[in-house]
């Protein structure tokens, strides 16, 4: 029987469809394969680029992720030392105690021995809290309960931890069961001398960043580079290590001399202790500062102000405030502003009107330009009308100095004579030389925090006749201490303006010299002949045999020095508050150092008398510093001076005195002219009657007390701009 059945039509159609689908898919697969191949090639190229450009970076990241003991290797911050190598700031290695809960709980036998060792060796730990943390954080690999431990503090634990192996009975020693404890190394900044030179050195924050002083200014030099040790397990479960060592910071060799700095700070503190709560309740002055500089290098040998703070605990205010006062500061948000005031370096950051210490600069302007010869004389009757119709500007000696020479105008600090000189000098020349001496500009001393004074001095638009007159004796514009002593050094060293600096050398940790910072002469501001005349005038200020001068009390026993006193009014005028100062050089015949002492508003009823405190600090400091520097005395010691030195137990200083051949180097003033330029005119006030109780002279017209050496009023309210 014939089978007439046909294959279903759909089957035939299906074959055709499948055949067509297969060809189509082949084309699609071919395209897809091409795309995948291109993507693979692109990915390979990208991986090769990443490995070439960033392979090391990603390798470190992988190592860090694999690490079970990878650690940061801290750098050692560079030391700061004085010019003799005495340490001022050092970094000592300390240790953080790290607990690895995961490792301690790896075996049940580890927990108790480890806790026992911790409790025995670190009694400050709360062991109940430590046990709780370990048991409740079994996966923790890094917990730090104690920081900044010295090696002496961890040595007992390390010894017990390393006591492994077996004892004589074949049993495992305790160290085999102490697990999961290790010590992370870092460095702690310490200051061996506490508060010494705190304003100069500065300190570091908890994360090692420099704050204030040299620590901030040279932070990039003192800081090193952190290293890293990568620990990881390889395919065979063996520990592998990759180490990038830390690079330590450089050491700063400063220009400071610790011995000179200590002398300066001792006498500043002596003044501060003596006059604290003297007239009103409070410190001896708003600020007290002193700088000693080498006049021919710009090296700063000492820089100090008061109050001070301990560099090892810079946030501690307990030396000056009670706990209640400190708590109140924190509540009313004045705590950090108070700290910033304490940390602030008065010698470079604060400004004030210099007063009569500026007078030698004015005279130098006139001498250098030929406006003055030094042979001029001036009449002073106690005041000068600068602008017609206005009140006269008074001299500090309201009775007048009579006829004075240029030399005596400096020695007796005559405002009237200086004003007359300034009119001859003129505004343009005055402003030009003021800028030449860097007033209004930064000195660029290598310390953080130097003030800007560009807006605190006059310019051609603001200086009129009155400003020129008052500017001649240091009123009406502001300066900083570092500006004044740097300019004054140029004034008396032959005219050479040196850039002041605090660091003379940069070294590696092993003492190799990286850089020598040599003295830099920036310019010559006056000629050597003008400088010699200024020295002569300033020596007259301190000469004990010169009549009517203001700086006798600054002269140390056995030495002749030069200098200038200053008493500047503060704003508002007539408030009875003054900045008193003394600036000088020693020795007189061959200046080696300049000294500048400033007392900002001394705690006294009559603040003008604080000038004697400024000269007294200078005298005391120089009495010890000059012999220390190997500078021999040039003047014979009087019996009174010898007794003074013996009373201070300065036997070594006395050895620097020449042989006594009679006479009194510190003799009384004589009525003779002594070359003081008064043309034989003895000041009127010198003949006033002396008060038998106080020793002051008495003005017969007003009954006011006068200083027997200068004629200045001791008490009384007079309409005068003094010194």
The pLDDT tens digits for 494-524 are 999 999 999 999 999 999 999 999 999 999 9
Residues 343-393: pLDDT tens digits?
999 999 999 999 999 999 999 999 999 999 999 999 999 999 999 999 999
High-pLDDT (> 90) share of the chain, %: 71
Report yes or no: 522 and 499 within 8 Å, Cβ to Cβ: yes
CB 99 within 8 A of CB 161: no
Q: Residue 139, class by beta-carbon neighbours within 10 Å (0-12 exposed, 13-18 middle, 19+ buried)?
A: exposed
Separation between Cα atoms, residue 559 and residue 571, nearest integer Å: 37
Q: With beta carbons less than 8 A apart as the criterion, state whether 75 and 246 touch.
A: yes
Alpha helices, DSSP H only, in 303-444? Answer: 323-331, 335-343, 346-349, 359-369, 406-411, 415-425, 427-436
291 vs 686, residue with greater confidence = 291
Domain ranges of the chain: 258-308+345-706
Side-chain half-sphere exposure of 118, counting CA atoms within 13 A:
29
Q: Is the peptide bond before 307 cis (omega within 30 degrees of 0)?
A: yes
The answer to whether 317 touches 327, Cβ cutoff 8 Å, is no
| C-alpha of 39 from chain center | 63
Residue 545 has pLDDT above 60, yes or no: yes
Rg from Cα positions in the chain: 39
β-strand 80-81 against 251-254: which pairing, if any? Answer: parallel
Q: Which two tokens stand for residue 512?
A: 């190799």
Q: Residue 29 — very low, low, confident or very high, per pLDDT cuts 50/70/90?
A: confident
Residue 17 has pLDDT above 60, yes or no: no
pLDDT in the model for residue 390: 92
Answer yes or no: is pLDDT of 719 > 60: no
At 590 the pLDDT is 94
Identify which of 179, 6, 215 has the alpha carbon closest to the alpha carbon of residue 91: 215
Q: What contacts 154, CB < 8 A, 6 or more positions away?
A: 95, 97, 121, 183
DSSP classification of residue 479: B
Confidence at 23, pLDDT banded by 50, 70, 90: confident
| pLDDT of 236 above 70 | no
Task: Measure CA of the first residue to CA of the last residue in the chain; give whole Å.
Answer: 149
Is the model more confident about 296 or about 656? 296
Q: Distance (Å, rounded) from C-alpha 127 to C-alpha 149?
A: 18
Per-residue pLDDT band for 55 (boundaries 50, 70, 90) equals low
pLDDT at 490: 98
Higher pLDDT, 678 or 192: 192
At residue 701, the 3 state secondary structure works out as coil
- Per-residue pLDDT tens digits for 648-688: 888 777 777 775 443 333 333 333 344 444 433 456 767 78
Q: pLDDT averaged over the chain?
A: 88
pLDDT higher at 226 or 198: 198
CB atoms within 10 A of CB 320: 13
Here the tokens at position 679 are 């043309």
In degrees, to the nearest 5, what angle opens at C-alpha 437 toward C-alphas 436 and 439?
105
For residue 701, report the phi and psi dihedrals to the nearest 5 degrees: -85, -40
CB distance 101 to 138 below 8 Å: yes
pLDDT at 367: 98
Residues 6+ apart with CB under 8 A from 243: 73, 227, 228, 229, 230
DSSP 386-399: -STTSPPEEPSSTT
Q: Which of 534, 485, 480 is nearest to 361 (CA)?
A: 534
The matching CATH number, chosen from 3.40.190.10, 3.40.710.10, 3.40.33.10, 3.20.20.140, for 258-308+345-706 is 3.40.710.10
State the pLDDT confidence band at 237, using cuts at 50, 70 and 90: low
Single pTM value for the model: 0.82
Residues with Cβ within 8 Å of 523's Cβ and at least 6 positions away in sequence, in order, are: 436, 496, 497
| 141-170 core/surface letters (b: 16 or more CB in 10 A; e: else) | eeeebbeebeeebbeebbebbeeeeeeeee
3-class DSSP state for residue 146?
Answer: strand
Q: What is the pLDDT of residue 659?
A: 55
pLDDT for residue 38: 85
Report which of 259, 247, 258, 251 is spatially closest to residue 504, judged by C-alpha positions.
251
Window from 255-264, 437-446, 535-544, 642-651 with minimum mean pLDDT = 642-651
- Please tell me the distance from the alpha carbon of residue 537 to that of residue 434, in angstroms, as a whole number: 20
- The DSSP symbol for 464 reads -
Task: Return the minimum-mean-pLDDT range out of 205-209, 231-235, 554-558.
Answer: 231-235
């Amino acid at each position: 029987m014939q089978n007439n059945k046909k294959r279903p039509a759909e089957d035939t159609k299906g074959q055709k469809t499948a055949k067509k689908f297969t060809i189509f898919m082949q084309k699609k697969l071919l395209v897809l394969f091409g795309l995948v191949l291109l993507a693979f090639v692109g990915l390979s190229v990208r991986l090769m680029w990443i490995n070439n450009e960033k392979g090391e970076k990603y390798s470190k990241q992988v190592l860090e992720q694999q690490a079970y003991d990878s650690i940061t290797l801290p750098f050692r911050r560079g030391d700061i030392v004085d010019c003799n190598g005495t340490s001022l700031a050092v970094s000592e290695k300390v240790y953080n105690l790290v607990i690895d809960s995961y490792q301690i709980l790896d075996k049940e036998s580890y927990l108790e021995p480890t806790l026992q060792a911790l409790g025995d060796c670190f009694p400050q730990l709360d062991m109940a809290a430590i046990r709780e943390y370990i048991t409740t954080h079994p996966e923790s690999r890094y917990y730090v309960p104690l920081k900044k431990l010295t090696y002496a503090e961890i040595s007992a634990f390390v010894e017990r931890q390393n006591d492994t192996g077996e004892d004589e009975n074949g049993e495992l020693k305790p160290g085999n069961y102490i697990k999961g404890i290790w010590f992370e190394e870092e460095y702690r900044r310490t200051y061996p001398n506490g508060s010494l030179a705190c304003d100069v050195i500065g300190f570091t924050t908890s994360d090692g960043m420099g704050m204030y002083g040299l620590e901030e200014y040279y932070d990039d030099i003192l800081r090193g580079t952190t290293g890293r040790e990568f620990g990881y397990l390889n395919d065979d479960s063996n520990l592998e290590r990759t180490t990038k060592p830390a690079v330590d910071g450089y050491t700063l060799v400063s220009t400071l001399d610790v011995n000179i700095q200590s002398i300066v700070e001792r006498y500043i503190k002596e003044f501060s202790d003596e006059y604290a709560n003297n007239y009103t309740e409070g410190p001896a002055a708003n600020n007290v500062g002193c700088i000693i500089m080498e006049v021919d290098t710009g090296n700063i040998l000492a820089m100090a102000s008061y109050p001070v703070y301990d560099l090892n605990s810079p946030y501690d205010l307990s030396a000056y405030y009670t706990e209640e006062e400190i708590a109140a500061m924190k509540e009313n948000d004045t705590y950090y502003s108070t700290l910033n005031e304490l940390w602030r370096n008065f010698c470079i950051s604060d400004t004030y009107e210099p007063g009569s210490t500026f007078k030698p600069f004015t005279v130098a302007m006139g001498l250098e330009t030929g406006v003055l010869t030094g042979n001029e004389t001036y009449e002073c009757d106690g005041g000068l009308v600068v602008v017609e119709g206005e009140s006269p500007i008074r001299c500090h000696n309201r009775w007048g100095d009579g006829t004075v020479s240029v030399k005596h105008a400096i020695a007796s600090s005559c405002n009237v004579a200086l004003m007359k000189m300034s009119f001859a000098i003129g505004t343009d020349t005055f402003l030009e030389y003021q800028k030449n001496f860097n007033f209004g500009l930064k000195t660029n001393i290598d310390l953080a925090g130097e003030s800007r004074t560009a807006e605190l001095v006059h310019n051609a638009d603001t200086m009129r006749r009155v400003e020129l007159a008052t500017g001649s004796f240091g009123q009406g514009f502001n300066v900083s201490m570092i500006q004044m002593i740097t300019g004054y050094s140029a004034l008396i060293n032959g005219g050479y303006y040196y850039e002041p600096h605090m660091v003379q050398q940069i070294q590696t940790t092993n003492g190799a010299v990286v850089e020598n910072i040599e003295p830099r002469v920036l310019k010559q501001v006056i000629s050597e002949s003008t400088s010699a005349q200024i020295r002569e005038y300033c020596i007259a200020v301190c000469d004990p045999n010169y009549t009517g001068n203001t700086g006798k009390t600054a002269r140390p026993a056995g030495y002749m020095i030069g200098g200038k006193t200053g008493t500047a009014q503060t704003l508002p005028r007539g408030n009875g508050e003054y900045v008193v100062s003394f600036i000088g050089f020693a020795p007189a015949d061959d200046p080696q150092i300049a000294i500048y002492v400033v007392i900002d508003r001394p705690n006294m009823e009559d603040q003008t008398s604080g000038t004697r405190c400024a000269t007294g600090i200078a005298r005391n400091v120089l009495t010890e510093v000059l012999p220390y520097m190997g500078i021999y005395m040039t003047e014979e010691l009087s019996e009174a001076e010898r007794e003074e030195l013996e009373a201070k137990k300065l036997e070594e200083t006395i050895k620097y005195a020449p042989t006594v051949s009679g006479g009194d180097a510190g003799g009384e003033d004589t009525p003779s002219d002594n070359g003081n330029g008064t043309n034989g005119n003895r000041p009127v006030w010198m003949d006033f009657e002396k008060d038998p109780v106080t020793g002051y002279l008495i003005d017969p017209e007003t009954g006011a007390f006068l200083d027997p050496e200068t004629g200045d009023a001791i008490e009384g309210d007079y309409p005068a701009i003094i010194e």
